[in-house]
Chain A
Amino acid sequence: MARLNPTNIERAREVIARYPQPRSAMIPLLHLAQEQDGHITDDAKAHIAELVGVMPAEVHGVSTFYEMFKHEDVGRYLVGVCTNLSCMLLGADELLAHAEDKLGVKVGGTTPDGSFTLEQMQCLAACGGAPCIQVNYRYFENVTPERFDGVIAALSAGTDPEGQAVPPHGTLSRVSLPHPSTDADRERPQEIHS
């Protein structure tokens, strides 16, 4: 839990090699660190600074700018409830209140067993399926309080909610390994896929 592990160092070097300037790889490497540890540790930031040749303060500055980078441990499942316009009109505020009651924590809190962290989200660009929630950045749409309880129950039981696999926090940002590929592929600086 700290610096990047040997496998990730290897991946980091591959990512850095795709950019003309090493420091351009900073954000993909922060995702890599978050995938490794679930959040970004100070040691990881210092390690990334070493790898891309900047000072740790610069990595710290970049990483704190982006809300999806977590700097403290979060629950195994990060549950985000969108409360922007479309979702709000279709009951997001009530859903969020329900979520707080159900999980027993306020927005920003983590359940005592470390399973869930509740967040209030800005627009998730899923207005067609409002109200929408995310669990470790996987979408669940048209969520009612009942469906919310079902998702939580499935996750608590260790099963896939509504048949959708939810990987550990951070995995959204899996940094792809280079493709054995064409030049066209090589020109694409990086790929982030969920």
Chain B
Amino acid sequence: MTDTSAEQKTTVSMTVDGRAVEAVPGEMIIAAAERAGTYIPRFCYHPRMRSVGMCRMCLVEVVGPRGPQLQPACYVPVAEGQEVITDSPAVKKAQDGVLELLLINHPLDCPVCDRGGECPLQDQTLTFGPGETRFVEEKRHWEKPIPLSSLVLLDRERCIQCDRCTRFADEIAGDPLIDFVGRGDHTEINTFPDQPFASYFSGNVVQLCPVGALTAEPYRFKARPWDLEQVESTCTSCSVGCRVAVQSSGNRITRRLGIDADPVNQGWLCDKGRFDYEAVNGDDRLRAPLSRSGDTLGETTWGEALGKAADALAGARDRHGPASIAVLGGARLTNEDAYAWSKLARVVLGTDNVDCQLADGLPAEVVLGLPHATIDEACEADTVVLLTADVKEELPVLYLRLRGAAVAGATNLVELSATTTGLTRYATTSVRYRPGEAAEAARQLVAGGAVTGDKVVCVLGRPSLAEQPDSVIEAAGVLLDAVPGIRFLSGLRRANVHGALDMGLAPGLLPGRVAAADDGGWFAGAWGTLPETEGLGAAGILEAAAAGRIQALVLLGADPLADVPDRDLAQRALAGAGFVLALDGHLTASSRQADVVLPVVLHHEKPGTATNLEGRVTRLGQKITPPGSSRPDWMVAVELASRLGGDLGLETLDQITDEIATLAPAYEGITRAALAAAHDGLLAGRDDASAHEAPPTMSSAEHPEVHAAAALGETDIVASEPIAVRETPEPAAAKPPTLRHRPAGRTATPPATDSYSLRLVSSRALYDEGTLVQHSPSLAHLGRGAAVRVNPAELERLGVTDGAQVRVSSSRASLTLLVAVDEGVPRGVAALDYNQAGPGAADLIDIATAVTDVRVETV
């Protein structure tokens, strides 16, 4: 295509094998050709990483002034009028030659190679290679395999030196712990001696490796690729919501691979998300209901267990009133599960004492009621204010995205934190505040002019479990007032906590981000009834239980003894609750104390939807059949409702998804058909401009596919399968508005510490004592252990050495812990990872106090 108006064009016109192709300026030939349907073979090229032109497999002919010249298609950008030839004899000869050279030293041990059957080297040799070699000499030999870390092994004989793993480690993960060592035919990939590739993202290199040189310890020799079946799903190990391919063989999950969802994970996963499927496979999964008899939990039937639970719930409701029932947890659940439990609690149990958070997050109105930002918006913002715990530890793939944006200069990170974090080194400004004083720090930050630009996003989470969130919420209010147009990206980490909140699993909240006070008869009409008074949040529920006012406590996958940042309160609550019903996949410290434990299915064992920290709703895939007689949580809710003489009107999972789309305002348009059509999911309740005035919370301009698909759903699904909402909304009741919140007010300045005390900061490390990690043998040992980290000056003041034992005392407890010196912890502060092995921060914290002061003394 010869175009005279080339200057006005936004594309580049070129030809590939004589066909006209419109390419994007700046992209490489290999990408333009692939989009146009011509696949150029490659090993080193990866669209998410810098081109290096290492492997030479993508040689093509580019016609230049001296005729066609062989050029690497991954390294030559497209140009106007460029002619590319990919199928000439010269290209074929080059491909033959490159493959013959690559195979000189390749061991061809394909029968015992994990990659065999899905190997780019095999496939491209078949398609493009000569199929024979002239090389008869001895191949090079290396010890095989060697561990790069406890998760990743390296077979150097198979390596073709494509630089993918090393580029990933350096460019994407920011952990350049592996590199080329040696030169010529002695070149190998290796670590520095005795310094393993201990990156949270190490598993990605296994997926990236175009041969079988890098293998993952949890997957090695577990399956042959052609035996694997897979579904697409969303990882629910944290709230980022990375898209994954879940693969199984023989009803066991064998592998999780990252899928390139452009707005979310772009193909990457953290190692926890990649490998903690082991917990789902575990032999220690609950297989049958358990019922307490005296001191022991014994297996029983579902009928027996549900009967006992229903009797206890009915007894509490009828004798002590609905407020004597409470439901804790729900972040493990799918949106459908959470919706069913939300409805069960409000309609049948009659209680509003529900909370999917365990006093470890932020109030629902803050999470849902502030203007939302997406990950992409954060990565393109002029300034990102970090006001959350260490993103690298809690939301690893969000860390990759933010780090990538900062390194590329696309955004400025401004960090407000109590200690240094994984993102500190990438931040343009990093301010330390003392626990309880975040709001003041935010004021100073704003006054100092550090928050600049038109597009500002704040990542807002719970920086420390050892302080109440008030000061952080106030800081968010300061930013909201000072920065017009600021948007917030939630930093809450727990699995599907955002979906659970969206389904109303918080006091005073109804599905679709509706404040119960604003209902205006919508849910009251649709559901038939609603509790009259606002219920208690997690802390209130636990206090009430401890005081003997909760007759029936339901734990929806919640483990308060591990997760409530106040172990003493959690213990008293479990002891004081009249009856405890736990729904879980594994026995936990808390469910061991329950009266009835119901085995429920975990991720990859059930379909449904989940909502990530952006509010992005995606579909979950079921890959395996759950163990024993486990059931989905929503089915338990439906069954309990019927035993309690109620009826949720929910009979199938699809029906719940449909009811959410119909009733929940923020989920309008998020129908099954729309979800099926949207590869990257759909944003719930996007509140652009005046969007919340008009009912459709997603503008059609933003999501044309939603409306097209919704129109499809109108005839296709709704007609054939009518939604069985028992009570249809009163015609008079308008759909209620979604929640808006403006944090305001001034929190009390926390008391000054005396000169002997340090103010405690506690947040989670990626590997902790959590259920998924501890039930995954490959990850369970990776926790870094409980050590109290202090500034070198404090250590000197104490007169102890790094690694010594010290006594750490709060108003609650006195623990003996190891002390570690950490320059990243300011003076006057002590940092302690939450939920590591043994006694820890949860024993020291009293959640009724604003901050936690500890004394650190020599033993």
1/0 per residue, CB under 8 A from A, across B166-186: the answer is 000000000111111111000
B179 surroundings in chain A (CB, below 8 A): 57-58, 60-61
B195 surroundings in chain A (CB, below 8 A): 56-57
Name the residue of chain A whose CB is nearest to the CB of B178.
Answer: A57
Q: Chain A's interface: helix, strand, loop or mixed, by majority?
A: helix
| Cα–Cα distance between A55 and B226 once the two chains are bound (Å) | 39
**B182 adjacent to A57 (CB under 8 Å):** no
CB distance from A2 to the nearest CB of B (A): 13
**A57 adjacent to B176 (CB under 8 Å):** yes
Which of B176, B178, B181 touches A64 (beta carbons < 8 Å)? Answer: B181
A60 surroundings in chain B (CB, below 8 A): 179, 181, 190, 192-193
Q: Does B191 sit within 8 A of A, measured CB to CB?
A: yes
**A57 adjacent to B177 (CB under 8 Å):** yes
Q: Does A45 sit within 8 A of B, measured CB to CB?
A: yes
Name the residue of chain B whose CB is nearest to the CB of A60.
Answer: B192
1/0 per residue, CB under 8 A from A, across B186-229: the answer is 00001111110000000000000000000000000000000000
CB distance from A181 to the nearest CB of B (A): 35
**A46 adjacent to B192 (CB under 8 Å):** yes
Total residues of chain B contacting the partner, CB 8 A: 15
Residues 154-181 of A at the B interface (beta carbon under 8 Å): none
Q: Does A89 sit within 8 A of B, measured CB to CB?
A: no
A65 surroundings in chain B (CB, below 8 A): 180, 182-183
| Cα–Cα distance between A59 and B180 once the two chains are bound (Å) | 10
1/0 per residue, CB under 8 A from B, across A53-76: the answer is 011111111001111000000000
| Cα–Cα distance between A66 and B195 once the two chains are bound (Å) | 22
**B192 adjacent to A54 (CB under 8 Å):** no
| Cα–Cα distance between A66 and B182 once the two chains are bound (Å) | 8
**A61 adjacent to B177 (CB under 8 Å):** no
B180 surroundings in chain A (CB, below 8 A): 61, 65
Known: A54-B176, A55-B176. A61 touches B181 (CB 8 A): yes
A54 surroundings in chain B (CB, below 8 A): 176
| Cα–Cα distance between A57 and B179 once the two chains are bound (Å) | 6
| Cα–Cα distance between A64 and B182 once the two chains are bound (Å) | 5
Q: Which of A54, A57, A59, A65 has most B Cβ within 10 Å?
A: A57
B190 surroundings in chain A (CB, below 8 A): 57, 60
| Cα–Cα distance between A152 and B180 once the two chains are bound (Å) | 37
| Cα–Cα distance between A64 and B183 once the two chains are bound (Å) | 7
Q: Does A93 sit within 8 A of B, measured CB to CB?
A: no
Total residues of chain A contacting the partner, CB 8 A: 15
1/0 per residue, CB under 8 A from B, across A33-65: the answer is 000000000100110000000111111110011
**B183 adjacent to A56 (CB under 8 Å):** no
**B192 adjacent to A57 (CB under 8 Å):** yes
CB distance from B610 to the nearest CB of A (A): 36
| Cα–Cα distance between A58 and B182 once the two chains are bound (Å) | 12
**B193 adjacent to A58 (CB under 8 Å):** no
Name the residue of chain B whose CB is nearest to the CB of A65.
Answer: B183
CB distance from B171 to the nearest CB of A (A): 13
**B193 adjacent to A42 (CB under 8 Å):** yes
Name the residue of chain B whose CB is nearest to the CB of A66.
Answer: B183
B177 surroundings in chain A (CB, below 8 A): 55, 57
CB distance from A39 to the nearest CB of B (A): 14
1/0 per residue, CB under 8 A from B, across A6-26: the answer is 000000000000000000000
| Cα–Cα distance between A60 and B176 once the two chains are bound (Å) | 11
CB distance from A96 to the nearest CB of B (A): 21
B178 surroundings in chain A (CB, below 8 A): 57
| Cα–Cα distance between A45 and B175 once the two chains are bound (Å) | 17
| Cα–Cα distance between A60 and B183 once the two chains are bound (Å) | 12
CB distance from B108 to the nearest CB of A (A): 27
Name the residue of chain B whose CB is nearest to the CB of A42.
Answer: B193
Name the residue of chain A whose CB is nearest to the CB of B183.
Answer: A65
1/0 per residue, CB under 8 A from B, across A66-106: the answer is 11000000000000000000000000000000000000000
CB distance from B35 to the nearest CB of A (A): 35
Name the residue of chain A whose CB is nearest to the CB of B181.
Answer: A64
1/0 per residue, CB under 8 A from A, across B431-457: the answer is 000000000000000000000000000
CB distance from A68 to the nearest CB of B (A): 12
A45 surroundings in chain B (CB, below 8 A): 192
CB distance from A30 to the nearest CB of B (A): 14
| Cα–Cα distance between A176 and B182 once the two chains are bound (Å) | 27
B192 surroundings in chain A (CB, below 8 A): 42, 45-46, 55-57, 59-60
CB distance from A52 to the nearest CB of B (A): 13
A59 surroundings in chain B (CB, below 8 A): 192
A66 surroundings in chain B (CB, below 8 A): 183
CB distance from A58 to the nearest CB of B (A): 5
Name the residue of chain B whose CB is nearest to the CB of A62.
Answer: B179
| Cα–Cα distance between A63 and B181 once the two chains are bound (Å) | 8
Name the residue of chain A whose CB is nearest to the CB of B193.
Answer: A42
| Cα–Cα distance between A134 and B177 once the two chains are bound (Å) | 36
CB distance from A64 to the nearest CB of B (A): 5
**B176 adjacent to A58 (CB under 8 Å):** yes
| Cα–Cα distance between A61 and B188 once the two chains are bound (Å) | 9
| Cα–Cα distance between A64 and B127 once the two chains are bound (Å) | 36
Residues 128-186 of B at the A interface (beta carbon under 8 Å): 175-183
* Smallest CB-CB A-B distances: 9 pairs: A61-B179, A56-B192, A57-B192, A57-B179, A64-B181, A55-B176, A60-B192, A64-B182, A65-B183
7 other A-B residue contacts (CB within 8 Å) besides A55-B175, A57-B176, A57-B178:
A42-B194, A57-B192, A61-B180, A61-B181, A64-B181, A66-B183, A67-B183
Interface residues in chain A, defined as those with a beta carbon under 8 Å from any beta carbon in chain B: 42, 45-46, 54-61, 64-67
Q: List 6 A-B contacts (CB under 8 A).
A: A45-B192, A55-B175, A57-B192, A60-B179, A60-B181, A67-B183
